[in-house]
Amino acid sequence: MCGIVGYSGRAAAAPLVFAGLKRLEYRGYDSVGIATLDGNNIQIIKKQGKVSSLENFVDGLSGNTGIGHTRWATHGKPSDINAHPHACGKFAVVHNGIIENYAELKARYFPDISFTSRTDSEIIVRLLDKFYSGNLLQTLKEVSSLLKGSYAVLVICADFNGFAVMKYKSPVIIGGGRGESFAASDAPALAGLCKKISVLEDGDFAIVSAHRIKIYDNNLNPVVRQKIINHATAASLDLNGCAHYMQKEILENPTAVENTVKAFSRVQGKLKEVFTDINRVIITGCGTAYNSGLVAKRYIESFARIPAEAEIAGEFRYKNPVITSGTAVIAISQSGETADTVEAAKLAKSLGAKVIAVTNAPYSALTLISDVVVPVAAGHEICVAATKSYTGQIAALYLTAKLLASFNKKSAVRLMKNAKAEICSVVPLLKSTVAHTDIEALAQVCARADGVYFLGRDIDYAVALEGSLKLKEITYIQSEGYPAGELKHGTLALIDENKTAVVIITDEGLSVKCENAVEQVLSRKGKVAVITNVKECAERLKDEVPVIEIPACPKELSPLLSAAAVQLLAYKTAIILDRNPDQPRNLAKSVTVE
């Protein structure tokens, strides 16, 4: 979850590391720190708070090698002491991940030593100092063999003019050229600095200096990792006149959908091969990705008439799933690094399933283990709450389901062409939705509510879950998503004059049923608003409750529009409550820990 950055080169390291941390702040922002190496002298500054809390101290750090860290706390509360880097002897380290056996290692190797911090990460630097005998690479190997859990670690050693890397189950990329070398958790940190990057694999080590990068596998054999283009650019991180990244990324929903449709064509043939002889599909993900998976379940069963299940990845990986050679597992993750989703995909693959990754990251742990990658071409998403990546996932999953439905049909090519045209026809409607939906009045109501309930039926229920997640993520208002028909089976007990229900209605055939839920809430003195593109429904309800109308479209593609509406609702409510929508408390963008 944390962000790490490393630099070795000709320039002063601290300003470059600081700038990289600013670009990675979506990965964690409760504390921050930088260590630099000047000759044999390691200098460290670290503070509780956001990256900006270091701004006035950066110039005081000298040296041309540096490592930095922006933290999302796991072990040890946010504080100056628990902030990274951690130092001991000749070493300083920054760590993204979790060391699960840190207490055991501490008791075994340091029974009489009081550690400085309350973190699991400090054990790494203590072990490096304990086992170091002059061979840095060998020491990395020895220490890594003791660690259980996940880690991406950058290491400064006073004896080496550069930095080292250890990687297992947490992401690290490296790149360089012209007398400079870099490492980071994610590509945006290196925007405008590296045209090409390499992705380290689990068990890899790297020794990095200004003029040289050497990578070794777990047995310390030199290896070469493929160089790929770094698509992150400084321009892609601009706010483009918006107040927040969330606002900017909601406005980029249409582009994300368009680009995802274009990208699908590149993998269509490979995906068709993988789907051969598939008779059952399991979709897995976490959070927003799971919610998009619920939409995919409906697509696959409706279009292909194949049994489909949607499973929360953190639960799926600990069960004994029934998987055969005819099972396809679609693993959805914005970052491709979500720990539970990656482990669920590994489990499925070990049991003989075909694994399809649906991800916004072209290089990640998930893509390495998948049989085929269906790209979500949403571009870099900086706001912690997913917006354009969700609509990109919906587009990718819609086309995936249509491809599965086209098997053994003579008109398969035409069916896929039509499917892409159907999505593209909704893009102008999506542009209208994000630009013109007036959600301000409803946001004012939600901001004053004790709780907000999102209700819907069938595919609208899947969007209701996502609407609820968005609202609770960035406003901290208690919110839940429910099937509209379940309201009377318990949830009505919670309704009073301080509660608000947001009812999503995009299926004309179910609109009257959903209107019953509206009446049930009103009769208990609750407040209600309706988001709909069913004209008759809007007419029937307009004198009873606020109605937010979105453009009419095929009901299967309505999540592209209704999701944008609930994203706007969450954003506007957060602004009213003076919450920072880009950096909600206690959360981080990429959940790389379990």
Catalytic positions: 2, 589
Given a contact cutoff of 8 angstroms between Cβ atoms, the answer to whether 569 and 446 are in contact is yes
Structure tokens at 153: 């670690």
Distances (CA, A) of 485 to 54, 298, 455, 488, 490: 52, 18, 9, 7, 11
Given a contact cutoff of 8 angstroms between Cβ atoms, the answer to whether 382 and 189 are in contact is no
Coil/strand/helix, residue 9 = coil
What gap in Å lies between CA 563 and CA 555, rounded to an integer? 13
Closest CA to 395 of 373, 362, 424: 424
Bridge partners (DSSP) of residue 149 are: 99
Bridge partners (DSSP) of residue 166 are: 153, 205
Cβ neighbors of 76 (< 8 A, separation 6 or more) are 82, 117, 118, 119, 120
Instruction: State the first-to-last Cα distance of the chain, in angstroms, to the nearest integer.
Output: 10
Closest CA to 547 of 404, 459, 441: 441
Residue 499, phi then psi, degrees to nearest 5: -105, 150
3-state secondary structure 540-562: HHCCCCCEEECCCCCHHHHHHHH
Distances (CA, A) of 443 to 280, 448, 545, 566, 577: 41, 9, 14, 10, 10
Which amino acid is present at 201? Answer: E
The counts of H helices and E strands in the chain are 17, 25
What gap in Å lies between CA 496 and CA 280, rounded to an integer? 43
Q: What does DSSP assign to residue 401?
A: H
Closest CA to 167 of 217, 212, 209: 217
Coil/strand/helix, residue 378 = coil
DSSP of 232-283, one letter per residue? --TGGG--TT-SSHHHHHHHTHHHHHHHHHHHHHHHHHHHHHHTTT--EEEE
138-141 long-range contacts, Cβ below 8 Å, gap at least 24?
Answer: 138/220, 140/164, 140/166, 140/205, 141/205, 141/218, 141/220
A 10 A CB-CB count for 177 gives 14
Cβ neighbors of 359 (< 8 A, separation 6 or more) are 332, 333, 334, 335, 336, 366, 367, 373, 374, 375, 376
Q: What does DSSP assign to residue 390?
A: H
Distances (CA, A) of 416 to 300, 302, 329: 14, 16, 21
3-state secondary structure 303-368: HHCCCEEEEEHHHHCCCCCCCCCCEEEEEEECCCCCHHHHHHHHHHHHCCCEEEEEECCCCCHHHH
